[in-house]
Chain A
């Protein structure tokens, strides 16, 4: 079943019947709230009865509870005091069909809860609601991708994550910023947003979060760090990813750059997985980790191998096209943070969801060596996961599937189905075989074939030789309708 993670709310327009401003106008805006997350549109000053926004935002669907509802509140901006209430719409999530195409719908503006008695004619609000999968549920991501070509899948992932793709257009970039701002946390978001409104009132088609870029250099910087970090993260894993790709999935269509693109958003996805937006910012800043947990101890074993690989990669990095050294250094830091974050996620998932919230913030340990160690652990873990996938690919339970974080595994899982040249049955046949196995098998088949060919040649030669003797001595038996003759002859002799 498709399980959306976000709800996309587009505030189109409103028809207000109440006016709080001068001359029957409103400085009208709408707040959109779901759970703890709240957005607001730009303020349309001196708006008449009809107000238009066409502004869109995306709210993460709360993990718990099925009583969540989207609350849209239409307000009149009072610059001196409290904003005045014009009406509101509450839309319980369970009343919406996630499979329905998003379409515009008018909702009647209601009074505040508790004051229903007044039952004033407040007007109505046109809203479009759709569901999307953003970060978080990798299960769903992979399911979605299976139906697309590899490139399509890539763009789907990239788009759903937003921001990290170099080729993303301005629209996507904007989305990315929005998205990031969201994940950074509502507190900061709200603060910035307010600032934004003071600076600029036009804000066409954008939520307050857009102002982040302009008004909040700190946030902007960190956003960039994260984005730029992606190539860095990937570059360190390219080798790993590629080995696996070429060996196991024979997805020759995947070029290196696309691996880049594919891997990076997923890493980002995983890093935000199951973390409420308000948490995520803090977490990234701290780069913290709970000290010791079972999976981590398990991962310590293969560390050395990867560490050596890591060192090798590190020296390689500066030569990568299109990446400056400073960028790399920066991305390295961010990458480690991401890795740390990723490292943390599976444990979150392994635990019941409730405990996650209560988890104590642990002291910071972002030392350089430590980071490297974590990174290698991350990779080795992926390696381990990969093994698991291969061995029991078909019956990966939900838990496991969610543990599979990071680009490589995701890519591996997706690419085979994308390769239209190889049927599923064929894939099934060779499932679980390593590259080595396949090479040996192929070699064996080839030598078998050679033997067969030689045998056939020998037989042909022998037949030719026999034929030759027949032709030289008794060609008569080579006459074509021979059997019939023989029969006829027999019949003839029998009858006589």
Chain B
């Protein structure tokens, strides 16, 4: 495999949030595997997927965390949010209720992440235009008012999925370049590699890492 263990400069931590059934896991799967999971089971625990992307010539490993959407306040919630460089906030354009809950998701994200965290709003299932319940305009307005990036995507067709993840990464990278994001801060959600693996256990064990990266990336 070409992607070696130290073949990237940064690790960005992403989280995906949103109501149950909006397609968080499917977005992740589409992004990491480029496949659509037709009968995606409800996510119960917490897991993450990875993929290495390239922004401005820099290889960046995205570590995207995904958890269940039905229970928002759990013991893991705080830990889940902590140190996220990017947050993908997802709603389902065919279900208005998922859109209506965005403000509370946003509040949680603001409270539990650091100010430099990039929040990206994704209106998922845009392939289901006929069942649309939330217009692009109002969601766009909501995003603008709250300083969010916004795109309508489809985990099924893959439309805009790549873009959403990449745009977020670009914004984070921009923040690093601008110096707004302190890489040394404990919970920045960004690790600079390979110079110092640091406390990140994932990158600590070198031998293991090679095996994992071989298949995951």
Partners in one complex: yes
User: Chain B, 57-84, contact with A by CB distance < 8 Å: what is the 0/1 string?
Assistant: 0000000001000000011100110000
Let me know if B212 and A492 touch, CB within 8 A: no
Q: Please, how many angstroms separate the alpha-carbon atoms of A485 and B216 in the complex?
A: 7
Let me know if B47 and A479 touch, CB within 8 A: yes
Q: Which of A273-281, A399-407, A445-453, A463-471 contacts B (4 or more CB under 8 A)?
A: A463-471
Let me know if A472 and B79 touch, CB within 8 A: yes
User: Chain B, 190-207, contact with A by CB distance < 8 Å: what is the 0/1 string?
Assistant: 000000000001100100
Let me know if B47 and A471 touch, CB within 8 A: no
Q: Please, how many angstroms separate the alpha-carbon atoms of A464 and B73 in the complex?
A: 11
Let me know if B201 and A473 touch, CB within 8 A: yes
Of chain B, the residue at the smallest CB distance from A476 is B202
Known: A463-B45, A464-B74. A471 touches B215 (CB 8 A): no
Let me know if A485 and B215 touch, CB within 8 A: yes
CB distance from A475 to the nearest CB of B (A): 6
On chain A, the residues within 8 Å of B32 by CB distance are 480-481
**Total inter-chain residue pairs, C-beta < 8 Å:** 68
CB interface residues, A 440-496, toward B, < 8 Å: 460-461, 463-465, 467-468, 471-476, 478-482, 484-486, 488-489, 492
Q: Is B208 an interface residue (CB 8 A)?
A: yes
Q: Is B49 an interface residue (CB 8 A)?
A: yes
CB distance from A244 to the nearest CB of B (A): 45
Let me know if A488 and B214 touch, CB within 8 A: yes
- CB < 8 Å: which of A473, A476, A478, A492 contacts B46? A478
Let me know if B45 and A480 touch, CB within 8 A: no
Let me know if B201 and A468 touch, CB within 8 A: no
CB distance from A458 to the nearest CB of B (A): 12
Q: Is B109 an interface residue (CB 8 A)?
A: no
- CB < 8 Å: which of A464, A467, A476 contacts B212? A476
CB distance from A412 to the nearest CB of B (A): 45
Q: Please, how many angstroms separate the alpha-carbon atoms of A475 and B79 in the complex?
A: 11
Of chain B, the residue at the smallest CB distance from A471 is B79
Q: By DSSP majority rule, is chain B's interface helix, strand, loop, or mixed?
A: helix
CB distance from B79 to the nearest CB of A (A): 5
Let me know if B212 and A489 touch, CB within 8 A: yes
Let me know if A471 and B80 touch, CB within 8 A: yes
Of chain A, the residue at the smallest CB distance from B74 is A464
CB distance from A481 to the nearest CB of B (A): 6
On chain B, the residues within 8 Å of A478 by CB distance are 45-48
On chain A, the residues within 8 Å of B50 by CB distance are 479
On chain A, the residues within 8 Å of B208 by CB distance are 476, 489
On chain A, the residues within 8 Å of B216 by CB distance are 479, 481, 485
On chain A, the residues within 8 Å of B47 by CB distance are 478-480
Let me know if B201 and A476 touch, CB within 8 A: yes
Q: Please, how many angstroms separate the alpha-carbon atoms of A130 and B211 in the complex?
A: 90
Let me know if A481 and B79 touch, CB within 8 A: no
CB distance from A95 to the nearest CB of B (A): 67
Of chain B, the residue at the smallest CB distance from A474 is B201
- CB < 8 Å: which of B74, B75, B201, B211 contacts A475? B201
On chain A, the residues within 8 Å of B205 by CB distance are 476
Let me know if A492 and B75 touch, CB within 8 A: no
CB distance from B55 to the nearest CB of A (A): 22
Q: Please, how many angstroms separate the alpha-carbon atoms of A479 and B28 in the complex?
A: 12
CB distance from B28 to the nearest CB of A (A): 8
Let me know if B215 and A480 touch, CB within 8 A: no
On chain B, the residues within 8 Å of A465 by CB distance are 75
Let me know if B48 and A492 touch, CB within 8 A: no
CB interface residues, B 8-44, toward A, < 8 Å: 28, 32
Of chain A, the residue at the smallest CB distance from B80 is A471
Q: Please, how many angstroms separate the alpha-carbon atoms of A465 and B74 in the complex?
A: 9
CB interface residues, A 207-243, toward B, < 8 Å: none
On chain B, the residues within 8 Å of A480 by CB distance are 28, 32, 47-49, 66
User: Chain A, 136-171, contact with B by CB distance < 8 Å: what is the 0/1 string?
Assistant: 000000000000000000000000000000000000
Known: A476-B202, A488-B214. A481 touches B49 (CB 8 A): yes
Known: A461-B75, A468-B75. A475 touches B202 (CB 8 A): yes
On chain B, the residues within 8 Å of A464 by CB distance are 74-76
Let me know if A488 and B76 touch, CB within 8 A: no
CB distance from B113 to the nearest CB of A (A): 15
Q: Please, how many angstroms separate the alpha-carbon atoms of A485 and B202 in the complex?
A: 13
Of chain B, the residue at the smallest CB distance from A462 is B75
Of chain A, the residue at the smallest CB distance from B33 is A481
Known: A463-B45, A473-B201, A478-B46. A484 touches B215 (CB 8 A): yes
Let me know if B74 and A479 touch, CB within 8 A: no
On chain A, the residues within 8 Å of B202 by CB distance are 474-476, 479
- CB < 8 Å: which of A471, A474, A481, A484 contacts B76? A471
On chain B, the residues within 8 Å of A461 by CB distance are 75
On chain B, the residues within 8 Å of A489 by CB distance are 208, 211-212, 214
CB distance from B139 to the nearest CB of A (A): 28
On chain B, the residues within 8 Å of A476 by CB distance are 201-202, 205, 208, 212
| Extra inter-chain contacts (7) besides given A464-B76, A480-B49, CB under 8 Å | A463-B45, A474-B201, A478-B45, A478-B47, A480-B48, A485-B211, A492-B211
Interface residues, chain A, CB within 8 Å of chain B?
460-461, 463-465, 467-468, 471-476, 478-482, 484-486, 488-489, 492
- Chain A to chain B: the 7 pairs with minimum beta-carbon distance, closest first: A489-B211, A476-B202, A464-B75, A485-B212, A480-B49, A488-B215, A480-B47
Query: What are 26 inter-chain pairs, A to B, with CB distance below 8 A?
Result: A460-B74, A463-B45, A464-B75, A467-B45, A467-B46, A471-B80, A475-B201, A475-B202, A476-B205, A478-B45, A478-B46, A478-B48, A479-B47, A479-B48, A479-B50, A480-B28, A480-B48, A481-B49, A481-B215, A481-B216, A482-B212, A485-B212, A485-B214, A488-B211, A488-B215, A489-B212
